[in-house]
């Protein structure tokens, strides 16, 4: 089996599993209890906070534990919106390729009267800092732009955008779910005010993440009911999950440089191999790209059948096809970079992990070539393209 869907989720690391098991067995107390085992759990929680803060260049007091990236995105955006509303600033800037945790929260705010600007990401899937600058108005309360895209892997010029926001005195949030532990992220160097992260994208457990909010930013509660997390996130803390997240993050951070170098080399080999398929195109910038992300469109075929046949060959991947989303529209990210519906349906995302070998990459290339060729052999769309009845797009 070759698991190439690490952008969806990752396998937990041994260290993270062991940490989790140990905490569950030995430190089951409630961190809010005053007796020994409660206070011990509290210590574990605070140690995790210190570890995480140090990896991203934050202070421990700036980290709030959440149930994952989506909750962190929701809380960051709602908090900035509430701060803006009080000052009569009700304009938010984001991009068309954000995760739905961001886009749906913005849609909700739009119904409450906020004005939302979604910036174009152009053909390469990257926002232009000067367009962020130009979009900022006197009533802008937040700029929220993802660090790296989950589908096409493009890395945004976060540091420049952050600097612009600082100079214009506008809060800047970044959904760094795909970036943290994969590429260097430092909230100070990158001028970030708020940041979201999710543990299961870096070999930690599912259902746990964190929100970084710079000191002085007043958070609005999404979940009420207790004094946990300085009163900003109620609910007994997921101590085993949080401890495992800190362990996984530290481990990934320690090996980041070597892992990224290996993955980028394997990614580029994959891209070169898949480019040999006629009428296929890489989605997203080839250079400013996550080390593990490969995303292609193949003309004349549909993504779901491609995924099912790859699964039969032992390769797990994903697609932006409508058929895999449960809706009639293909991926909003592929549409945003200018892929038309017909082509976007034939997309394939391979998100490789650190353990991938050169032999596995060769096998993936061969398998994708075979499956694309097979599906094209009985595709009426492909027949019309080859017969010149409809023009090739790619």
Partner 1 sequence: MALYSEKVMDHFRNPRNVGVIEDANGIGEVGNAKCGDIMKMYLKIEDDIVQDVKFETFGCGSAIASSSMATELIKGKPVSEVAQLTNKAVAEALDGLPAYKMHCSVLAEEAIQSALADYYSKKEATAE
* Tokens 């803060």, residue located: 53
CA distance 269 to 287: 13
User: In whole angstroms, how close is the CB of 11 to partner 1 at the nearest point?
Assistant: 21
Stretch that binds partner 1, among 32-40, 288-296, 354-362, 381-389 (CB under 8 A): 381-389
Residue 388 within binding range of partner 1, rule CB under 8 A? no
> In the chain, helix, strand, coil percent, each to 5?
45, 15, 40
Q: Which residues form the catalytic set?
A: 323
Nearer to partner 1, 64 or 295 (CB): 295
320 binds partner 1 (CB under 8 A): no
Q: Which stretch binds partner 1 (CB under 8 A): 6-14, 64-72, 221-229, 322-330?
A: 322-330
Pick 212 or 298: Cβ nearer partner 1: 298
391 binds partner 1 (CB under 8 A): no
Q: How far is the CB of 374 from partner 1 (least distance, A)?
A: 10
316 binds partner 1 (CB under 8 A): no
In whole angstroms, give the CA distance from residue 90 to residue 77: 12
Q: Which of 199, 186, 216, 193 is nearest to 65 (CA)?
A: 199
Q: Is 382 in the site for partner 1 (CB under 8 A)?
A: yes
326 near partner 1 (CB under 8 A): yes
Q: How many residues bind partner 1 (CB under 8 A)?
A: 25
* Contact between 262 and partner 1 per CB under 8 A: no
Please list the residues that pair with 66 across neighbouring strands.
Answer: 209
Spatial CB neighbours of 34, under 8 Å, sequence gap ≥ 6: none
Task: Report, in Å, the least distance between residue 345 CB and partner 1.
Answer: 4
| Segment interacting with partner 1, rule: CB under 8 A, options 84-92, 140-148, 177-185, 301-309 | 301-309
Q: Does 387 bind partner 1 (CB under 8 A)?
A: no
267 binds partner 1 (CB under 8 A): no
Contact call for residue 334 and partner 1 (CB under 8 A): no
Distance of alpha carbon 313 from alpha carbon 365, whole angstroms: 12
Q: Which C-beta is closer to partner 1: that of 74 or that of 347?
A: 347
Of 7 and 344, nearer to partner 1 (C-beta) is 344
Does residue 335 belong to the site contacting partner 1 (CB under 8 A)? no
309-314 CB contacts, 8 Å cutoff, 24+ apart: 309/371, 309/374, 309/375, 310/367, 310/368, 310/371, 313/367, 313/371, 314/1, 314/2
Check binding of 394 to partner 1 (CB under 8 A): no
Question: Any idea what the Cα angle at residue 85 is, between residues 131 and 179, rounded to 5°?
Answer: 45
Using CB under 8 A as the binding rule, whether residue 380 contacts partner 1 is answered as yes
CA 12 to CA 247: how far, in whole Å?
11
Decide if 190 contacts 158 (C-beta within 8 A). Answer: yes
The number of angstroms, rounded, from the C-alpha of 298 to the middle of its chain's C-alpha atoms is: 24
Q: Which stretch binds partner 1 (CB under 8 A): 32-40, 235-243, 270-278, 372-380?
A: 372-380
**Per CB under 8 A, does 178 bind partner 1?**
no
Place of tokens 């700036």: 62
Neighbours of 323 (CB within 10 A): 15
Position 218 contacts partner 1 (CB under 8 A): no
Q: Which of helix, strand or coil describes residue 53? A: helix
CA angle in degrees (0–180, nearest 5) for 286-195-234: 145
Taking CB under 8 A as the rule, does residue 68 contact partner 1?
A: no
User: Exactly one of 96, 323, 335, 386 binds partner 1 (CB under 8 A); which one?
Assistant: 323
What distance in Å separates the CA atoms of residue 63 and residue 46, rounded to the nearest whole number? 10
How far apart are CB 305 and partner 1 at their closest, in Å?
Answer: 5
* Helix, strand or coil, per DSSP, at residue 391: coil
332 near partner 1 (CB under 8 A): no
- Selected from 26, 43, 312, 370, the binder of partner 1 by CB under 8 A is 312
Angle between helix axes 36-56 and 239-254 (nearest 10 degrees) is 30
Stretch that binds partner 1, among 16-24, 61-69, 140-148, 378-386 (CB under 8 A): 378-386
Is residue 328 close enough to count as binding partner 1 by CB under 8 A?
yes
Question: How far apart (Å, rounded) are the C-alpha atoms in residues 128 and 152?
Answer: 17
Binding residues for partner 1 (CB under 8 A): 300-305, 308-309, 312, 321-324, 326, 328, 330, 341-342, 345, 378-383
């Amino acid at each position: 089996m070759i698991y190439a869907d690490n952008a969806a989720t990752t396998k937990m690391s041994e260290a993270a599993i062991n940490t989790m098991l140990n905490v569950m067995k030995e430190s089951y107390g409630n961190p809010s209890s005053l007796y020994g085992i409660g206070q011990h759990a509290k210590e574990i929680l605070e140690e995790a906070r210190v570890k995480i803060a140090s990896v991203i260049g934050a202070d421990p007091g700036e980290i709030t534990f959440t149930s994952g990236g989506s909750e962190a995105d929701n809380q960051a955006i709602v908090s900035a919106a509430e701060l803006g509303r009080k000052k009569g600033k009700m304009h938010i800037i984001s991009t068309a390729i954000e995760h739905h945790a961001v886009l749906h929260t913005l849609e909700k705010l739009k119904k409450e009267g906020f004005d939302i600007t979604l910036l174009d990401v152009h053909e390469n899937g990257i926002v232009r800092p000067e367009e962020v600058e130009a979009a900022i108005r006197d009533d802008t309360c937040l700029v929220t732009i993802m660090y790296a895209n989950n589908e096409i892997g493009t890395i945004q010029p976060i540091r420049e955008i952050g600097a612009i926001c600082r100079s214009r005195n506008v809060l800047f949030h970044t959904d760094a779910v795909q970036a943290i532990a994969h590429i260097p992220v430092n909230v100070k160097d990158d001028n970030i005010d708020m940041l979201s992260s999710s543990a299961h994208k870096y070999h930690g457990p599912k259902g746990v993440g964190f929100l970084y909010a710079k000191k002085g930013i007043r958070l609005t509660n999404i979940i009420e009911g207790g004094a946990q997390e300085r009163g900003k996130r109620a609910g007994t803390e997921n101590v085993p999950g949080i401890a495992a997240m800190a362990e996984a993050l530290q481990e990934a951070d320690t090996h980041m440089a070597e892992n990224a170098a290996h993955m980028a080399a394997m990614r580029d080999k994959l891209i070169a191999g898949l480019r040999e398929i006629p009428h296929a195109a890489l989605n997203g910038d080839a250079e400013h790209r996550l080390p593990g992300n490969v995303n292609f469109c193949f003309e004349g075929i549909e993504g779901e059948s491609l995924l099912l046949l790859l699964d039969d060959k032992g390769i797990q991947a994903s697609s932006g096809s409508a058929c895999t989303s449960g809706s009639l529209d293909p991926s909003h990210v592929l549409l945003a970079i200018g892929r038309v519906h017909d082509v976007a349906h034939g997309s394939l995302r391979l998100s490789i992990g650190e353990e991938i070998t050169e032999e596995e990459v060769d096998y993936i290339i061969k398998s994708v070539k075979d499956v694309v060729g097979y599906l094209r052999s009985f595709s009426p769309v492909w027949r019309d393209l080859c017969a010149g009845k409809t023009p090739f797009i790619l």
